[in-house]
């Protein structure tokens, strides 16, 4: 049977999936989904740095909050670097994403090689941030994820109309006088929040899948945006909880991998259904 701890982990991952589904849908329609890949990888140096600082200050290096704060910080730096690169006009967004994610990750691994030699940091399980280990989620982590999910859903519902206009036709949204820049920043902020919150459970390498896969599956089935958001949230929750369940049963399978494969099964199902409908 499912014990209390497992239940906490499952609920936390499901909440995360809901948030990722909703935010991922908007990001996908705006053509920004792959930014999650850059943010996720760019978070590594922040996590490592935060762990080192905490342990130098003699704090509890397992505490999640400072690590996530560090992750968000370098995640933002990564996004800024991305904007600088594409603003040159010479580096296309695809190359810029690849440059940012790989060099920030590289910096993170250099940091890890230092952190491993510091006594207080080694047991922080920093490398579980890379592939994710949901089993380590505590009750307060799950509550954090749940709150985040609610927050994302709330923002998405509140800004539904303008976000839809933005994703559908940027030029039109601009002509209507919508604050396109502010909306884009909001979306980016939500993306950052989901990525960072997803790191401990899903890991930085695969967190992008949590944002892309449920949204892509939902888009296949739903004709309109509200339906797509609801389905993506559902798919995200199922993939998140399912993946977490599998990885708590088979401890050596990283949660990230299980979540992604679960999501892809849903995607394959959605693809099959949509093809049958069209045929």
Residues forming the site for other proteins (CB under 8 A): 28, 31, 33-34, 36-37, 41, 81, 84-85, 88-92, 94-114, 117, 127, 130-131, 205-206, 208-209, 212-213, 216, 219-220, 250, 252-254, 256-258, 260-261, 264, 267, 271, 274-275
Backbone angles phi, psi at 139, to 5 degrees: -60, -45
The b-or-e profile of 81-100 (16+ CB within 10 A means b, else e) is bbeebbeeeebeeeebbbeb
What minimum distance in Å lies between the beta carbon of 64 and other proteins? 21
In terms of CB distance, is 85 or 180 closer to other proteins?
85
CA distances 188 to 83, 106, 126, 168, Å, are 12, 23, 25, 17
In terms of CB distance, is 144 or 232 closer to other proteins?
232
In terms of CB distance, is 28 or 153 closer to other proteins?
28
In terms of CB distance, is 208 or 237 closer to other proteins?
208
What minimum distance in Å lies between the beta carbon of 108 and other proteins? 7
Distance CA 44, CA 110 (A): 10
What minimum distance in Å lies between the beta carbon of 151 and other proteins? 24
C-alpha closest to that of 258 among 216, 210, 217, 219: 210
In terms of CB distance, is 105 or 124 closer to other proteins?
105
- The structure tokens listed for 141 are 């982590």
């Amino acid at each position: 049977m499912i014990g209390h701890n497992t239940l906490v982990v499952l609920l936390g991952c499901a909440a995360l999936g809901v948030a990722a589904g909703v935010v991922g849908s908007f990001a996908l329609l705006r053509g920004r989904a792959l930014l999650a890949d850059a943010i996720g990888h760019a978070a590594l140096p922040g996590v490592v740095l935060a762990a080192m600082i905490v342990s130098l200050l003699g704090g509890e290096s397992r505490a999640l909050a400072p690590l996530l704060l560090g992750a968000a910080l370098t995640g933002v730096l990564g996004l800024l670097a991305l904007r600088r690169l594409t603003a040159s006009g010479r580096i296309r967004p695809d190359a810029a994403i690849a440059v940012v994610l790989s060099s920030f990750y590289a910096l993170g691994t250099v940091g890890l090689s230092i952190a491993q030699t510091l006594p207080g940091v080694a047991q922080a399980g920093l490398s579980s941030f890379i592939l994710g280990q949901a089993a380590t989620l505590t009750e307060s982590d799950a509550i954090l994820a749940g709150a985040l999910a609610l927050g994302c859903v709330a923002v998405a519902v509140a800004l539904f109309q303008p976000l839809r206009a933005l994703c559908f036709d940027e030029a039109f949204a601009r002509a209507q006088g919508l604050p396109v820049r502010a909306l884009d920043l909001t979306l980016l902020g939500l993306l950052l929040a989901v990525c960072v919150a997803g790191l401990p459970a899903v890991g930085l390498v695969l967190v992008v899948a949590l944002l892309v896969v449920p949204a892509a599956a939902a888009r296949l089935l739903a004709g309109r945006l509200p339906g797509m958001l609801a389905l993506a949230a559902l798919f995200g929750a199922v993939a998140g909880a399912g993946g977490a369940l599998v990885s708590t049963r088979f401890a050596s399978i990283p949660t990230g991998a299980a979540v992604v494969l679960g999501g892809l099964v849903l995607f394959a199902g959605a693809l099959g259904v949509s093809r049958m409908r069209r045929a």
